[in-house]
Structure 1
Amino acid sequence: MRANSLAVIAVAVLLIVGGVGGVGGFVQPSAANTGTASTNVQPADSYVVEQGEFCHPIEPLTTGGTVESFYDYRNHETHPEDVDRMYSSYGTQHLQEDDTSLLFLHQGTDGMSLVMIHDQVDGETEGGAVTFDIVGLPAEAAWVVQDDLYDGETNMATWGSGDGWASASWIWSDARTDGGAIQGGLNDEFAVTIQPAFNEDAEHYDNDDLYDPEFHGDGVIDDWEVLSGDADDPDRTALPSLEEPVTIRTGTCDSPSVSYDRTDDGTTASIDRATAEDRIALQPTAGTADGVTFEQVDVTGIEDSASVTFEDRQPDDLPSAPPDVDSLSSLTMTGDSIQNASATVTVSVEAELLEEHGLEPDELALYEASGGEWIEAETTVSGESGTTYQFTAEIDSLEAVTVAQQQSTGSESAIPGFEVGIAVVAIALLAALWAVRSRDQ
């Protein structure tokens, strides 16, 4: 064999040795577990509203400003005396109707927002009382418009928020509005469920602890409408019920339905009309620790219907972390009809937290609970913002996950001893090449 031929073979073998096991200690995911093959991905640029069996496509109301300027909430703290300020929304007067609650998406210069408005300013309404519990919200979602919110005992609206949810209880008098807007994390896939309580079911309807318990004047909301399309003259669709939950989500009426409800310790996602090939984006709770946020769980393998409950806690039957490492955060998942489900988990970790633990981003891994122990999952650094790193990992079951340092950062061969054998062959070829060259000289 000629010397240059042996050199080519040796170099090729060395390239094989260097390529086995992936790059930087991460096993490269295959098409089967990345969601890129044989899965149905739901569109994130179309929207529907659902209530029970009712489903209707909608379009955001788009304007050239922010949702705050569009809503134009006015009170004594935000506007001078010579400006109308009936503690109401003035920017949406053209949309408002007496004894009617409005629900819609707003697309503006500040992104996508979920907006709700009750009643009509300067109308003939006698007032009203409403409570909304809004569940399935992304971690960064928050109230950006609060009608009413100001200092003083006369402000009787109450606002709440927690991990994956936000709430409001309004009470208003005649010829005024109440409502608000939520923003954050709604520019991508989402499903947000409103658990409503109108009129006598509202928290403040018979609340004697208020500054003025009769502020609503026995006024009622008779209709609940969702708006769609032109911001100046939108389409109006009456929702079938004032009692049943309503979900606004990305996707179509043919895609799987996802809705949310609060539990004592977390949130539950209910899935309907799914096939095993569908990739369903679920909003988990954030996790057990600050600095780490479980952002999304993309599930496949669900047949027809299922439910997943997310809780910020360690699983009961497992140690708090894999052996010899410290857990940064954990998330427990339980549910019905999820035995065959697998998922891609997206989690973000603040760079400052990694520095506190003396870790580089490529030293971090997600572990999944399986068979009563923690198993290191395929984990990749999928994004970086400067202050936060984003990671994705493939898991084979929905039980629990935790974020911790990798137990081993070395690359692993798919066949035990394979890399060692290849290395031996490479050394033998290099020795043969040296012998040939020595003989030819």
Structure 2
Amino acid sequence: MVAFVGVVLGCTAATVPAAGAPAQATTGETGQVADAAPPNESADVDTYAVSQNGNCIEVTALGDGSESVSEFYQYGSHSGLYSSQGTNAYQEYDESQLFLYNGNESGSIVFVHGEAGSERGGGQASVTATGLPDDAAWAVEDDDYDTRDDNFTVDGERAHADWFWEDNRTDGGALRGLEQGDYEAVTIDIGFNDEAHHASLQAPLTIDTWRVHSADGESYVLDPSEPLTIRPGPCDGPSTQVTTDEPGTYAATARDVGGNATFDTGLSAENASGVVLDDVTVAPPANQSWFQVRLRATTENPVNAASGPEQPLMFVDPTGPQFEDPPENVQYFVSLDDAELAERDIRPESVAMFQYSDGEWRRVHHLTRRGGGERVIRSTNATGMDPVAVAVLQPDVRTQEITVSNETVEPGEEFEVRATLVNEGPANSTYDTELRMFDETVARASVLVPPGEQRTVTFTQSVESPGNYTVRVGDAETEIRVEGDGGEASEDRITAPGSVPLRVVLVGALVAALVVAGVGYRTR
């Protein structure tokens, strides 16, 4: 047993993995997000910082999340006297016990006064808890029969209880809701004996010790005359508390961050194979001591905007209800599985991030880290809690210009057709361009055109029959005139329109060319 009054205590941390419990946050300088890769996941721990009189201890919650707090408390009858049957090992007739319990519905603060079956004791107590999360409730009321003197209330972030008990039994209760996350800390004000609201009732005044228990076997004596503060996480440094970790949704609370908080999300959406939101790093405003981050992954546009990324793979819809001023720096780490995206005919290098801001989607700059069959893209200029999209960049290739080396040629004389292609989109494009004459495709070439750049394709042609011909590449066209005697037809010289020997030359890029010769054409 360790005294807690007026003594600065060392902190004891337990490392019991459990979903929905506090975990260490990763920090950096305030207002800046480090460029390094996100850290390894910190183990979740059921640790709470319990503070009083400027001192702090770390208390590990009882329970492994498999049973409810009601099952732990076991409110029931012994010899006709209703008491807590599940906490007998901790009970003392002249003490009040305090526990933190990790149940299968949420975390709870548990109070147990007196000792069942001791044939001694009795007393009265009152407690007020403030700073509670939304939907906090008394999960256990000892007593709960109609003629009880006790009362239990919850009003917003405030809960209150009054107890009156006789010898040979307990009173108490369990206040549930600690793992919902939408709170900074809970403050407990308690009074026993003459300090209780029931002081006018006739009852023994036997409580002289208030004690908090930790799952590691330690117990600490508290001072009932001073407020007690309970906060998830360690006494020193930041913490994050994961409150929702289900397919498509994630929520966590960061406390005492002081700089950056990194949330290990592992979030994906249905029908978005190959794309996972691994981590989110948030740099809160300097005056923000705690905040929540809620994330929803979906394949549906969360803003219902008419315009958006042309080929979205996944949207992330974030909210931060405690932010009065949105964070200026937010980073999203998205992993892309090369093999899974290849099955969807998607090039990972063409995937980028967008953010919806001021009524439009804008591209977010990112850096890329590769390795192990996947790549991780990290945003560098996302801000606030606005929706983010992971989408495939789309090229926009058009024929900027088409020219011929000679506007007039003789039958069979070679001429060059030069087409300048420009990619005005943000993605690489392997563009299949076609040369058309006589309303038919006479040649094709596959050209890689990087974003913002030009490539020139040169086709070498000859036409055997006199006439005026339209030469077209994409949406650009020009004219070529063939004048003179077409000569006699032979196996090697076809006089019908469309007899087009050709060569293809691709300029400005490493490309693959495919020349198609059909009926009435020949290659030279």
When normalised by structure 1's length, the TM-score is 0.50
Unaligned runs of 5+ in 1: 1-31, 207-212, 260-268, 283-296, 313-320, 346-366, 379-392
> Residues 124 and 192 of structure 2 are in contact (CA less than 8 Å); yes or no, is this contact kept in structure 1?
no
Matches within 5 A, 1:103-142: 103-106=98-101, 110=104, 113-122=107-116, 123-133=120-130, 135-136=132-133
Compared CA separation, residues 308 and 37, structure 1 to 2 (3 A): same
> Residues 270 and 305 of structure 1 are in contact (CA less than 8 Å); yes or no, is this contact kept in structure 2?
no
Q: Which residue of 2 aligns with 1:180?
A: 174
Equivalenced residues, count: 311
Distance 2:208 2:363 in 1: 52
Q: Which residue of 1 aligns with 2:154?
A: 160
Distance 1:281 1:437 in 2: 57
Q: CA RMSD in A?
A: 5.7
Distance 2:147 2:207 in 1: 25
Q: Which residue of 2 aligns with 1:334?
A: 323
Task: Pick from 181, 192, 212 the counterpart of residue 226 of structure 1.
Answer: 212
Q: Which residue of 1 aligns with 2:515?
A: 435
Compared CA separation, residues 113 and 215, structure 1 to 2 (3 A): farther
Matches within 5 A, 1:189-268: 193-199=185-191, 205=197, 214-215=200-201, 217=203, 219=205, 223-229=209-215, 234-239=217-222, 242-250=225-233, 252-256=234-238
Q: Which amino acid aligns with 2:48?
A: V
Distance 1:120 1:93 in 2: 10
When normalised by structure 2's length, the TM-score is 0.44
Compared CA separation, residues 182 and 271, structure 1 to 2 (3 A): closer
Matches within 5 A, 1:347-366: none
Q: Which residue of 2 aligns with 1:45?
A: 45
Question: How far did 1:127 drift?
Answer: 1.5
Question: How far did 1:433 drift?
Answer: 4.7
Query: Which structure has the larger Rg over C-alpha atoms?
Result: 2
Between structures 1 and 2, the one with greater helix share: 1
Question: How far did 1:227 drift?
Answer: 1.0
> Residues 128 and 219 of structure 1 are in contact (CA less than 8 Å); yes or no, is this contact kept in structure 2?
no
Compared CA separation, residues 424 and 185, structure 1 to 2 (3 A): farther
Matches within 5 A, 1:289-438: 300-302=282-284, 306-307=288-289, 332-335=321-324, 339-342=327-330, 396-398=382-384, 411-413=392-394, 417-419=425-427, 422-423=430-431, 428-429=445-446, 433-435=513-515
Q: Which residue of 2 aligns with 1:279?
A: 262
Q: Which amino acid aligns with 2:176?
A: I
> Residues 69 and 174 of structure 2 are in contact (CA less than 8 Å); yes or no, is this contact kept in structure 1?
no
Question: How far did 1:198 drift?
Answer: 1.5
Identical columns (%) = 18
Query: Which secondary structure state, in structure 1, belongs to the residue aligned with residue 81 of structure 2?
Result: coil
Compared CA separation, residues 246 and 46, structure 1 to 2 (3 A): same
CA shift digits 1:269-307 (9 cap, x unpaired): 88436343x42699xxxxxxxxxxxxxx96532588633
CA shift digits 1:406-435 (9 cap, x unpaired): 9xx974449951448543569731898552
Distance 2:523 2:360 in 1: 58
Distance 2:162 2:46 in 1: 30
Q: Which residue of 1 aligns with 2:71?
A: 69
Q: Which amino acid aligns with 2:111?
A: I
Between structures 1 and 2, the one with greater strand share: 2
> Residues 137 and 154 of structure 2 are in contact (CA less than 8 Å); yes or no, is this contact kept in structure 1?
no
Unaligned runs of 5+ in 2: 1-31, 242-252, 266-278, 295-302, 308-316, 334-353, 365-378, 396-422, 435-443, 448-503, 505-511
Q: Which residue of 1 aligns with 2:140?
A: 145
Compared CA separation, residues 54 and 222, structure 1 to 2 (3 A): same
Question: How far did 1:440 drift?
Answer: 7.5
Compared CA separation, residues 220 and 168, structure 1 to 2 (3 A): farther
Distance 1:87 1:142 in 2: 21
CA shift digits 1:299-329 (9 cap, x unpaired): 53258863357799xxxxxxxx77679xx99
Matched, 1:95 2:90: yes
Question: How far did 1:142 drift?
Answer: 5.5
Distance 2:203 2:213 in 1: 27
Question: How far did 1:332 drift?
Answer: 4.3
> Residues 272 and 304 of structure 1 are in contact (CA less than 8 Å); yes or no, is this contact kept in structure 2?
no
Question: How far did 1:119 drift?
Answer: 1.5
Structure with the bigger RCO (C-alpha within 8 Å, sep 6+) is 1
> Residues 151 and 161 of structure 2 are in contact (CA less than 8 Å); yes or no, is this contact kept in structure 1?
yes
Compared CA separation, residues 411 and 201, structure 1 to 2 (3 A): farther
Question: How far did 1:72 drift?
Answer: 1.2
Distance 1:116 1:302 in 2: 33
Compared CA separation, residues 329 and 94, structure 1 to 2 (3 A): same
Q: Which stretch of the first structure deviates more once superposed, 34-43 or 128-137?
A: 34-43
Question: How far did 1:44 drift?
Answer: 0.8
Query: Which secondary structure state, in structure 2, belongs to the residue aligned with residue 69 of structure 1?
Result: helix
> Residues 212 and 221 of structure 2 are in contact (CA less than 8 Å); yes or no, is this contact kept in structure 1?
yes
Distance 2:281 2:223 in 1: 30
